[in-house]
């Protein structure tokens, strides 16, 4: 089983590269987001690479600085934390758990995120 290339993931996240980020997902992948807008009982669920790509296009267009931090990988799974900062100084913290297929593509991501204040929350354009 291949694992997701952490160098590529880091490059995609920290480089605000929405296309590269989307390419890391399988065609039928899912992305579940839990945050103050989307609580555990009603998470945002994106299905398929196209919906996930739209989310990352929106996120990457915001001028946010992303920093991939702690990573743990093993047996078809990858977990990481990410620290982000908007141009206005607002901070975002994200914790993510990924399931990977045998080719190392993401089939499922569960993301939990929290922000400073109430402004500029990362919500996909829909």
Backbone angles phi, psi at 120, to 5 degrees: 50, 40
Asked if residue 30 is part of any domain, the answer here is: yes
Is residue 125 scored above 70 in pLDDT? no
Overall pTM > 0.85: yes
Give tens-digit pLDDT for 3-46.
678 889 999 999 999 999 999 999 999 999 999 899 999 999 99
Q: Label residue 108 exposed, middle or buried (CB < 10 Å: 0-12, 13-18, 19+).
A: middle
Structural domain tally of the chain? 1
How high is the pLDDT of residue 124? 47
Which residues span the domain enclosing 58?
Answer: 6-115
How high is the pLDDT of residue 120? 52
Asked if residue 125 is part of any domain, the answer here is: no
In CATH, what number is assigned to the domain containing residue 67?
3.10.450.50
């Amino acid at each position: 089983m291949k694992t997701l290339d952490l160098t590529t993931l880091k490059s995609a996240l920290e480089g605000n590269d929405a296309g590269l980020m989307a390419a890391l997902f399988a065609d039928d992948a899912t992305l579940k987001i839990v945050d103050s807008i989307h609580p555990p009982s009603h998470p945002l669920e994106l299905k398929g690479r196209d919906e996930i790509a739209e989310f990352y296009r929106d996120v990457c267009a915001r001028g946010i600085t992303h920093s991939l931090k702690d990573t743990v990988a093993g047996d078809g799974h990858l977990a990481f934390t990410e620290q982000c900062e908007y141009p206005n100084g607002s901070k975002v913290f994200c914790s993510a758990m990924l399931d990977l297929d045998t080719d190392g593509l993401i089939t499922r991501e569960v993301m939990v995120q929290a922000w400073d204040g109430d402004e500029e929350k990362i919500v996909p354009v829909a």
